[in-house]
Structure formats: C-alpha cells, structure tokens
Amino acid sequence: MVLESAYTSCFLLDFIQKCGGYALVDGGFATELERHGADLNDPLWSAKCLISSPHLVRRVHLDYLDAGANIILTASYQATIQGFEAKGLSTEEAESLLRRSVEIACEAREIYYDNCTKASWDFVERGNIARRPVLVAASIGSYGAYLADGSEYSGNYGDAVSLQTLKDFHRRRLQILAKAGADLIAFETIPNKLEAKAYAELLEEEGVNIPAWFSFTSKDGINVVSGDSILECASIADTCRQVAAVGINCTPPRFIHGLILSICKVTSKPVVIYPNSGETYNAERKEWVKSSGVSDEDFVSYVGKWREAGASLFGGCCRTTPNTIRAISGVLSNKSSPSLSDKMEM
C-alpha cells in the first residue's frame, strides 16, 4: 500500500522529468472530431463516435500524437453506461465501449510508435531511437456532461443530487476505466466541490491503483463554475493520495494565470492546464459562438507565463486543434533550437 502510494505521487513528476521538464497534453477532442465532419448533436456528444466512427477517434488521437502530445485523452468524456443504455445498448455493450475507448487510444499510440520507427522521426541517441514518452489518460466527464445540457458549465445539479447520487453515478464507469489499460484517469471539467469529493471518495473506496488528475472548470478566474472556491476544490484533490496532478481545463485562456497561482497555494502536486479557445458554448444548439470582450486568439502567447506561474502540463480543450499543440510546443521548446519535429514541418 505504501509502495503504491509512493508510486502514484511520483508517477507524473517522473514522467514530466522524462519529457524534459514539462509535458504536452492533447487539444480539443470532440471539437476536432467535428472538424473531421462528425455530427455531435447527440446526448452522447463525442462518445457517439465510439459507436459510429471509431476510425475517426483513432485518427484524431494520431493527429495529436503527430502534433507532439505526450498525453492523449480517451473518447470517454461523455461515454456513460447510463447514456449508452438510454440509446438501447445493453449494460455489457456499454461497458465494452468504455474499454474500447482506451483500446483505441492505445492502438493509436502503437501506430504512432511504428510510424516513428519506420520513418526514424524521433531523434537518434547513441544509435538507439529514443521514443517520445506517451501516456493514455482515460477521460471521465462530470455528471453535468452526461446531462448533455451544458450543466458542466454551471455545476448546479439541484438539491436532489447528493454526494451519494454522484458516487453511484460514477462508480461502475470508474471501475471499468481503471482496469482497461490506461495509464491514468483524467477527471475533467469538474464544475463543483461535491463532484470532486465524490471522485476522491470513489478513488479511495475502489482502491484505484492508477493515478488520476482532477481538472476543474471556471468562468471567472476565481472560483469553479458553480461558485465553489478553487482553493477548496484543489485542496480536496491535494489530500487524495491517488491524485497526481491538479488543474484547469475548458476555461477561457485569460483566466488561467490567476487560477494557477491559486492552485499552487494549496498543493505542490503538478499543475495541468488545458484551456478552451475562449469561445462560448450554446448547449441547446451544441454550437460554439465567438465571445465578446477580451480576445483569446493569442492563447499561445500566455503559455510562458503559465509555466512561470507553476504549471507543468499544457494542452488545449474545446475548439483548440493539433496546430494549437504544435504552437504550445514551439513556445515551450526554446525557439532558438527548434526540435526535429519542428524542422520536419518546415
């Protein structure tokens, strides 16, 4: 048990070190499926593609690996047993689709490595090909994501939803994804304190033995979207032994800097950030609309400041693309010495 706990706490730190001091997460997954032509106007959102177009899911993973990602997130964000059952699938079929989401990401990693070996894309070190380290993170979206009405951007589930409701809702999916062969669990777009508490208790009760990250979402740079304090939310993550990183995703870039500073006040665990494009989601139409006010088009220009503030895992969320990841990579790797992959693109 002690060994396991030490493993979890060092896991991402070791990985980040192996990657060179920071690691790249992938970018928007669902919105990238859409750019490839998928119609996600469905209660399952991106998880619909696990049924209708698994090849596209693999394609998008590969595009992010080609762009330089060290961590790819599975298509399971809005894949829930309850959601699949509502579509008429059996429990067994639903569980198998969850496992499939991890398998597809692992297949993409294998294909990527094979391609690298064949083309000798990765740099050669003392005659050996050094493979870029890549992890597969099993995504778990919130209860609000399952509701498919944009509730993960409000975090208001009403009084009828208790800690126990959330634990009951998430337990089986977590059990399955934790044993599906992923390297870690990414709890994403967490909108409130109650859900963070539910995840922390489930990780403990289920004895999950792969690490996890908790990533919250905010719309003001001070609190998470429900209005709960980011300090309290990040503290829950800090005290959970299986949590290996804490951070923010699907939040406009302009809010990220302050949130990193807040998170660093309550935890010394690695900080992960993967903001969205700064656009606003219309949940009814499942469409993105340009936001008025401060422009977030210069997303990438903030990245250096985020690193200085203490973040070490960087990527993008909704409406960011493989090019966003390439640009982040370009900013973080010293511009004066472009990496081989940068050179390949010239």
Ligand X SMILES: C[S+](C)CC[C@H](N)C(=O)O
Ligand Y SMILES: N[C@@H](CCS)C(=O)O
The verdict on 188 binding ligand Y (CB under 6 A) reads: yes
DSSP string, 98-154: HHHHHHHHHHHHHHHHHHHHHHT-SPEETTEEPPPP-EEEEEE--HHHHHTSSGGGT
From 51, 86, 89, 148, residue interacting with ligand X (rule: CB under 6 A): 148
Tell me the window of 27-35, 114-122, 172-180, 196-204 that interacts with ligand Y (CB under 6 A): 27-35
The total of other beta-carbon atoms located within 10 Å of residue 21's CB is: 10
Q: Burial of 289 by CB count in 10 Å (0-12 exposed, 13-18 middle, 19+ buried)?
A: exposed
Among 15, 22, 64, 77, binds ligand Y (CB under 6 A): 77
Contact at 8 Å (CB) between 58 and 107?
yes
Q: Which stretch binds ligand X (CB under 6 A): 7-15, 62-70, 166-174, 278-286?
A: 278-286
Member of 13, 86, 283, 331 binding ligand X (CB under 6 A): 283
- Binding to ligand X by residue 281, rule CB under 6 A? yes
28 touching ligand Y, by CB under 6 A: yes
Answer yes or no whether residue 145 interacts with ligand X by CB under 6 A.
yes
Within 10 A of 53 (CB to CB), how many other CB atoms are there? 15
Q: Taking the CB of residue 129, how many other CB atoms lie within 10 A of it?
A: 13
Query: Among residues 208 and 248, whose Cβ is nearest to Zn ion?
Result: 248
User: Closest separation between CB of residue 156 and ligand X, Å?
Assistant: 14
95 binds ligand Y (CB under 6 A): no
Q: How far is the CB of 127 from ligand Y (least distance, A)?
A: 38
Are 18 and 71 within 8 A, CB to CB? no
Q: Indicate which single residue of 26, 63, 95, 152 sits in contact with ligand X (rule: CB under 6 A).
A: 152
Segment interacting with ligand Y (CB under 6 A) among 11-19, 22-30, 109-117, 199-207: 22-30
SS3 68: coil
**Total count of residues recorded for the chain:** 346
Three-state DSSP class for residue 40? coil
Interface residue list for ligand Y (CB under 6 A): 28-30, 46, 73, 77, 139, 188-189, 250, 317-318
